[in-house]
Structures are given as structure tokens and as C-alpha cells.
Structure 1
Amino acid sequence: MPSLAAIPQSWRRLVILLPIVVISLLVTAALLNGPLPKPRLPKVTFGDPAPTGPLHNECKTNNESSRLDDIPSLIRALWAPLVVPITAPSFTTLDGTVKKLPPPNELVHTESLGKRICILDVDTRPLDEEGDVFGGKLPTWDNIKPRSAGFLSHYLYAMIHGYSYKFIRAPQYEDRAPHWSKVIFTQEMLKRYDVVVMMDYDAMFPSPEVPLEWMMNYWKIDKEVIVAMAEDPDANWNLDKHNKLNVNTGFIIAQASEKAQRMFKDWAECPEETRYQGCSEWKTKIFHEQAAFSSHVRYDFLDGLSVDTSPQYIRVLPCNEANGIPEVADTGCTGQLMRHHWGAKHLPTREFGHNIMYALTPLLTKAAYGDNEIVEDFRGKVIKGDEILDKGATPPPPPES
């Protein structure tokens, strides 16, 4: 066969140009005929009722069919088999503790509040480093920062149950610690939603299949409750100025009402000392807005009410159920229903991974090993040499030579 050098120059040019011409013709034909249609995934429809209520009738659940290539719909479809019914009589936590609801006639919620619940994140930091939610590149599982894992777990929880989710990139006060911003933005969101759940990034649901309405039933957070927060661990440094344990503001359940607006306004203005003398020390001193609420606001709110005389407005949640993590069990706070990782702020990434794999592991197992087209069961057979036979069958005689 002659080498390329032996072929005339005109023929060599043809050999080089021919593939280019063919490719150009194919591209032109594709452009003229239009792109190939994008394959559409099947649709899934969720039958949640549109939310109604005296405060926010304008908040409507989208009842239209959702495509599975829409991430929120995909999340809900994946977790749907695991979600605990709002009125389920009991739930067993990860540590094996059985939590029981009150009798049916005492339940606060029997149906989902849907989009009328808002899961809220508030943060003043740029969050633009590698592995952050606002970084130049999307975070990967290998480089995601614990704070971003915490935020994503909150979004995941909201999508599982069809709640609203908001992330507020907040400005900082000029005269106080950044923690104070979550007070004013929780108040602002209470103008839009019936229930606002404000969470620090390291506060996470260990069992995201449990709806908030179930927990509100369990903790008896009825319509009178303005705000619910967990008690801090029993230690001298967690005592307020009245020698009562602080409540922790890393996880706040607040319910919209005129009373709530008044309470949150007083709380936000606490450092100005228009109502609470001595509150200015908490502008920058730890525990900031948490200490202000614990030492001042809860003892004088609305029309001179106190948590001691009117406990129905402020629900204090048990530390073991709504604060801490198993790693700090010696504090009496293991976070059975809500975890707060103040004792190990690197662990939200692990918690987020558990949230995801808790749902995916049984689904993957069922898809792979519950499918008779994938799994073939030969246990009723016997193997002889290179043959697979029914039990008791006589193997055929060897072929004659």
C-alpha cells in the first residue's frame, strides 16, 4: 500500500478535507431540522390541599403536576414513603425512645400547613468560600463546609414536607453582634407566614421524616403559643439573671399574631433599653439576643405578662428533645427530635449525609433486590457439573461417543 507521501498532492488535500465537509453537512442539517426533542420524565402529582387560614390566605400550595426533573418534587417523591403522618400516635427516635402524641381530641394539627410554614435561615456572612452555598463553584460532598451542609439540610426538610424555605442574607447591625439579625428577620417573616422556624446552621432535624406539625402536636404548641424554644443544658453559666435556665435561640418556632409582632419588636429593641433596663450589655456580650430574651423579655412582655404568670405564650421545650447532640449526652441534651451541634460544630456534614442516606438506602434496596426481573432465585434448583436441574430430576445420560 503506497504511503501518504506517494499520493499526489491534490488527492492528499481531498483526503484531509473530506471528513471536514461531511461533518459540516451534518451540523447544517441538524440546524435546519432543529434540535432533537428533549426526553421528558414522567410526572408525579401530589394531592396537598391549598393552604387556607385567617392570616395568609394568599399563600397557596402549587397543586399543579410537578415534573420529576424539578428537584423539590423529586425530593418529596423520594421521601414520601417514609414521612410520618401528622397524627401518628407514636414515633421512635434514633436512640430508641418512643414519643407518644396526646389523645386525638387534644391534637393541634390534623392536616399539613404546607407553604404556610417557613423554614428560615438568616446569616450575615458572605458564605462565598470554596465549599459554601454562595461560593464561585457549587460545593461537592468532599469540600462542603459544615455550615453549608446545615443550610442544605434545612432546605431538604422544607422540600420533604412541602413547606416554604427562605434564606436571608442579612446586613449587620452597626452596634451589636450579628446574631441579633435573626430576631428582626424572624419578625419580618411572621408578616408573611403562619409559622416561622428559625434555625442556626448547626441546628438540624435528625429524623427529617417527622413533620413539624407532628412535633407541634407532641409539644402541644397550640394557637396561644407565640414562641417555642429549647431549654439550655443545666449548668451555672446557662442561668439567666433570675436563676432560671436560658432558652436557646438556635431553634425557634414562632407563630404569627399581633402578639408575636409586639413581642419580637420589644426583643429587637431590648438593647436600646426603652423597656428593659440593663439590656444594652447584651449587644456584644455572649449570649447576645439569647440572654436578652432569657433575662429580660420573657419576664415582661405584651402588657406586663411574665413567663411565670402566663406560661401559655412561651413554650419551653425539653433540652433532651430539642437541643444538643448524642456526643454531649452528659449534659442531658441529646437532640432526640431537634439537634443543635454547639458541642461539635464540624458534625452537621455527617448529619446531612445521614439525612440523605436514611431515605435512599431502603429505596435503593427495594429497587434493586425487590425486583423479580433483577433477582433470579435458583435456590429450588440443584447444580450438577455444568447443569442446573430441578431437585429430584434425573440428569440426562452423557452423549454417546
Structure 2
Amino acid sequence: MAAAALFSQSCRRISLLLLIISLTLAIAAGLYHGFFSRPTRPKVIIYGPSELSDPAKQHSETCPLPALDNLSNIIRTLWAPLVLPITAPEFVTAGGKVKKLPPPEKLVQREPLGNRLLILDLDNRDFSDDGGIFAKDLPSWDRLSMQSAGFLSHYLYASIHGYSYKFLRVPKYKDRAPHWSKVIFTKEMLKEFDMVITLDYDVMFPNPHVPIEWLLNYWQIGPDTLVAMAQDPNRQPNYDVRGNVNVNTGFIISRAGNLTQRLFQDWAECPSEKRYKGCAKWKNELFHEQSGFSSFVRYDFLDGFSVDTHPNYIKTLPCDEANGTPLVADWGCSGQLVRHYWGHKKLTNEVFASNVMSAFAPLIVQNAYKKPGIVVDFRNKVLDGAQVLDHV
């Protein structure tokens, strides 16, 4: 009996779909070859139907699938011609805003960070329900949860640019909200990577072709910057104990180093009040670790430094560029470069779809309508009854 006959109808459909997609991506990559001057692309290996029955290449006992262990390489190959060079003078955002880099002599990042940069997701929830990333069965697109869409968009973004990606299933605290684990585990990951980008699931990159390195140049986040976070909307309840606008910890850029380790240690211990009296309030009250940083840490870190005396150590990014969405543009937070869907979390599915199709749709057009022999043009002819006649 053929191996395919052992699968259920749905499994065979999934297997065939993945194979078709893989072949399409590989072909599309070839079409784009030479479009830009790029480093050598990763090798892409596609497994065929005859290998579906190989136990070594099966990812599920109930539904064996084509092995796509190199999917991240396929993604990177697909997006390679679209990726913005890290020193490109300007680009136009998804919303039509023109963003320009500083003069060449002021650029802070000229080389790709590659896998030395980590895109970090972390959570202590199960996500094992239907549509979750840890569900027993692979989720179908129409049932994909909003959290899954957010996490998958982060993996996609990391794959596009060759960054490392980790999802940490973190433990719970005995005495405080789970949000505080973000501080501890970012600190730990900074011992392994040069830079860590820590994200909430509802934080998305609306321009997935724009690398972090370009953003570092744009925001001038140089080697002396320890952390960078976006400002919150300038409205209630987003104020710290001094009446200043909070920063938002849904999107954190952190650079490895001894000073950063010290800053994160003080931040993690904030609710214990070893250094910051009054911080225990934020163990379980909103906005948890965000309020702890905004009200205490940024005003006293590294023994007397503050965001005012050393703004190069803690960068506050504009809300309009690194927080919010176009739906709250009147708040001054339209998310031009990084979006945070705190008020519209269910839109993560839509944004993830847009991220994927930003590269895939042009390639489908290229394959379907730009190749000889597919489109036949009869517009220079005329019809006469049942006959097609040359135009006179």
C-alpha cells in the first residue's frame, strides 16, 4: 500500500499543501536571484512525497508531514530581495510615512547582528487550546488564536533577518504578577546574546522587511545604550509617581553588558524595596514591572544616574513610532515602526497575514502573470460571431 494511503484525507491535504508551498518558495527565490547584491543565501532542501513515510522525517504520530526543519532558511530566502539594507538612507512605512536615517557619519550600526540578536517571547500560559501554538494538533488558519498570530509573527520576523528566536515558558512568582518574569529572563538571555528584543505577543512589526539594525540607526541606539522603550500615550492612567508619562515594556531593546546586568538586577528587585522604597505597590497592581521601571528605576540606576542625567543609557522612543496603532493615531501613538495592539489585540491575526503576504503576493503575481506562455493576449483581435479574427 502506498505511504500516502495510510494518511487521513486531511493529513494528505496538509502534506500536499506544505509541499506545494515549499516548492513555490524555492522557485520564487530563484526568480529573485540577483535582484539585490546579498550574501550567499542559505541552502534550501525540499522533501518529496516519497519521504513522507520515513519515520525520521515525521513530526506527528497522527499526521506525518513533510520535513520543514529548514523553514526559517526558506523564509529568509523568500524575503531576501525585499529586506531593507541597514544603512539605506530612507524608506516609506506601511502607512506612507517617509523615514530617513541620519548622515552616514552618525550611523551606529553598520554590520548585521545576525544570530547574536535574540527575538524573545515569554509566557507562563498553556496556549494548548485549539488554535494555540502548543495545541496537540497543528492549528488551522481560521482557528489560529490572536496570541499564536503574534508569536508566529515574531518567529517570522526573526527568520527573515537571520536573528535567533526563543520562546520561554516561564515559571510563576509566589508573591507578584507573572509580568515581572520578563525582567529576570531578559537579564538571563543578555548573558547569551549581544542584544535582546523582548516582546509582548500583541507587539507587531508592520514593516517586516525593516531590520532591527536599521531601527538602531534611525533611533540612534548606540553601544552605550543599555535599554530602549517606547513612551506610553500621554493620557490617564499612563503616568508615574512623579506625574511623567510611563514607558511601555511591551517592546524592549536591551544591549548586553555589565551595566545592563546591574540595571536589570535592580529592576527585578524593585518590589522587594532593597533600593526603591514604595515599589512593592507594583507587585500586583497595574502596570507591574512597567510601573516599577517608570516610577523608580529610570530615576535612579547605576548609583545615582537617571534618565535625565544619562539619556544615552536609557532611550525613550516616540510613542508615534514604537507604540500604539493607526487606530489610536489621535493619541499620538500610531505605531509607524513598531505597533502595540493593547486596545485591539484581535487584530494580530490580520497583521500576521499582512506580514506573510507582503512577500508572498508579489511572488504569486510573478509566477502567475509575468512568465511567458501563461497569459495569452487577444486584445489586438476582434470577434465576429463564433470566430476570432485579426483586427483590420
Q: Same fold (TM over 0.5)?
A: yes
Which secondary structure state, in structure 2, belongs to the residue aligned with residue 81 of structure 1? Answer: helix
Superposition deviation, residue 213 in structure 1: 0.6
Alpha-carbon displacement from aligned partner over 1:234-263 (angstroms, at most 9, x marks no partner)? 014211112211100000000011111110
Superposition deviation, residue 105 in structure 1: 1.4
Letter in structure 2 aligned against 1:308: D
What is the rounded CA distance, in whole Å, between the counterparts of 2:304 and 2:383 in structure 1?
Answer: 85
1:349 equivalent in structure 2: 349
Q: TM-score, normalised by structure 2?
A: 0.83
What is the rounded CA distance, in whole Å, between the counterparts of 1:247 and 1:64 in structure 2?
Answer: 38
Superposition deviation, residue 390 in structure 1: 4.2
What is the rounded CA distance, in whole Å, between the counterparts of 1:236 and 1:140 in structure 2?
Answer: 39
Query: What count of residue pairs does the alignment treat as equivalent?
Result: 345
Alpha-carbon displacement from aligned partner over 1:182-209 (angstroms, at most 9, x marks no partner)? 1001001101111100000001101111
The 5 Å alignment of 1:311-330 reads 311-330=311-330
What is the rounded CA distance, in whole Å, between the counterparts of 2:104 and 2:45 in structure 1?
Answer: 36
Superposition deviation, residue 388 in structure 1: 4.0
2:44 equivalent in structure 1: 66
What is the rounded CA distance, in whole Å, between the counterparts of 2:236 and 2:146 in structure 1?
Answer: 29
What is the rounded CA distance, in whole Å, between the counterparts of 2:389 and 2:192 in structure 1?
Answer: 69
Q: 2:203 touches 2:251 (CA, 8 Å); kept in 1?
A: yes
Q: 1:117 touches 1:163 (CA, 8 Å); kept in 2?
A: yes
The 5 Å alignment of 1:132-211 reads 132-211=132-211
Letter in structure 2 aligned against 1:66: V
Q: 1:67 touches 1:73 (CA, 8 Å); kept in 2?
A: no
Superposition deviation, residue 384 in structure 1: 4.2
Which secondary structure state, in structure 1, belongs to the residue aligned with residue 141 of structure 2? Answer: coil
1:9 equivalent in structure 2: none
Superposition deviation, residue 150 in structure 1: 0.3
Q: Which runs of 5+ in 1 are unaligned?
A: 1-22, 25-37, 50-61, 393-401
2:62 equivalent in structure 1: none
CA RMSD of aligned residues (A): 2.4
Q: 2:42 touches 2:77 (CA, 8 Å); kept in 1?
A: no
Which secondary structure state, in structure 1, belongs to the residue aligned with residue 143 of structure 2? Answer: coil
Residue identity over aligned pairs, in percent, reads: 56
Q: 2:41 touches 2:77 (CA, 8 Å); kept in 1?
A: no
Alpha-carbon displacement from aligned partner over 1:51-94 (angstroms, at most 9, x marks no partner)? xxxxxxxxxxx986332552111111222222111111111112
1:232 equivalent in structure 2: 232
1:305 equivalent in structure 2: 305
Pair 358,64 (structure 1): closer, same or farther in 2 beyond 3 Å: closer
1:278 aligns with 2:278: yes
The 5 Å alignment of 1:56-135 reads 65-68=43-46, 69=68, 70-135=70-135
Q: 2:180 touches 2:289 (CA, 8 Å); kept in 1?
A: yes
What is the rounded CA distance, in whole Å, between the counterparts of 1:63 and 1:161 in structure 2?
Answer: 12
Which secondary structure state, in structure 1, belongs to the residue aligned with residue 345 of structure 2? Answer: coil
Superposition deviation, residue 137 in structure 1: 1.3
Which secondary structure state, in structure 2, belongs to the residue aligned with residue 84 of structure 1? Answer: coil
Letter in structure 1 aligned against 2:325: I
- Pair member with larger Rg: 1
